[in-house]
Amino acid sequence: MIKDLPKKIQNFDLSGYVGILTGGGPAPGLNATIQGFTYAAYERNIGVVGFHDGYKGLMDGDFSILVPEALNPNRTHISSINGINIIGVSNIAYESGSILRNSRTNLSKIPGAFEKCKEVIKQLNLKAVACLGGDDTLGVAYKLYENGIPTVGAPKTIDNDVLGTDYCFGFDTAINTVTNIIRNLIFDAKATSGILIVETMGRRAGWIALESGMAGGAHAILIPELYRAKVEDPDLYPELEEYRHINFNVDSVVDIIKHRFERGKHYAVICVAEGYVDEILEKKVEETSKEIPKDEFGHVRLDKLGIGKIIADYIAEKLETRTRSIQTGYICRSSRTSAFDSYMSINYGIRLIDLMHEQNFGKMVVMDGSKFVIKDLSVATQKIRYVQPWRFKNASKFWNWTLTG
């Protein structure tokens, strides 16, 4: 039985409650959004319920009450009210992870899940629920909305591949972290005459690999778009067409390294997105993937696949040289939130409360240009936001290598 929510917390006489949850993997900016959301809610005398473990918490009724500061007027810590756990959200804007915890629960695959969620929201008498996550999480948020649950959302994924926004929170922190890793590793590569393969997150789109690789000084970059262009529907993804004429793959990287050797540079740092594959490696990737578990949305655990190591082994065999691979995924998604991500995320949280107050449900807050704008949640479910071909071509100019096409 769900306990009654208090009608007064500290100096706030509450007119009702709203909910918030974080789905998918952790990303810097989640806590900043939660803080902005909670502060803006209490400013309107609205309480906040935070569901634990994403949609699992919403379905099971596992939640805490979020407050601007978990202290009473006498500066005594409040741990619970009416037997409900209390979490203060002050000074969390720079913290990575999520104070609510995440999960990849897919409600669409659980019988009766949407009805359970509706019952929890009814018992708590919530005005609406904010869902923070990538396209999978936002897709479920849209289904909740279609099932009569008032939802809003904000795009969270360090992969930066959600359609409809220029930036997902977590991305800026990720590229700054990986950029610094690459810059540091270059000194190691120089000292050891080593070939280092830096693997970044990026299941379908290569935003992190491209931008951090370019800024960090990588000597070649491999992104999923190079191959995705050959298998995606050209009518759905006309923006990928130009990739079809770019002849660049793992053998191109081998040639770049050879070229460097010939110039007396016996080291290289290569940046690759975890979702990269090409015609040369696809058989090996397919065989390896068969033994790897999938998450609830059917995605292969790419950290277990290790495309960086597969490429490192391939280069080592081709060039008879020593190679090493480094995975950066968990490091960059747990890094302290950058100033840009904190600022953007706080604003996302504030704007989500505005949407709820306006009863403008089924929407998400996004950044378009330099403005925070509102778009339908359905936009996030339409297709993937890929890296445009001109960006990859520009990056290639730094490699002393000419792309064909």
Spatial neighbors of 99 by CB under 8 A, at least 6 apart, are 31, 34, 50, 87, 89, 92
Spatial distance between the Cα atoms of 27 and 97, rounded to a whole number of angstroms? 6
DSSP at 5: P
Question: Is residue 355 classed as helix, strand or coil in its secondary structure?
Answer: helix
- Phi and psi dihedrals of 141, rounded to 5? -60, -40
Give the chain's length: 405
Q: How far is CA 14 from CA 18, 44, 152, 241, 270, in A?
A: 11, 9, 21, 54, 55
Q: Is 159 a catalytic residue?
A: yes
Residue closest to 129 by CA, chosen among 52, 53, 18: 18
> What are the strands, taking DSSP E only, across 135-188?
151-155
Spatial distance between the Cα atoms of 93 and 342, rounded to a whole number of angstroms? 6
Q: Give just the sign of the alpha carbon dihedral 78, 84, 90, 92.
A: positive
Spatial neighbors of 8 by CB under 8 A, at least 6 apart, are 14
CB atoms within 10 A of CB 226: 26
Q: Which of 136, 159, 172, 341 is catalytic?
A: 159
> What are the strands, taking DSSP E only, across 183-311?
195-200, 220-222, 268-273
Is residue 220 within 8 Å of residue 395, measured between CB atoms? no
Is residue 202 within 8 Å of residue 332, measured between CB atoms? no
Which residue type sits at 54?
G
Give the active site residues: 159
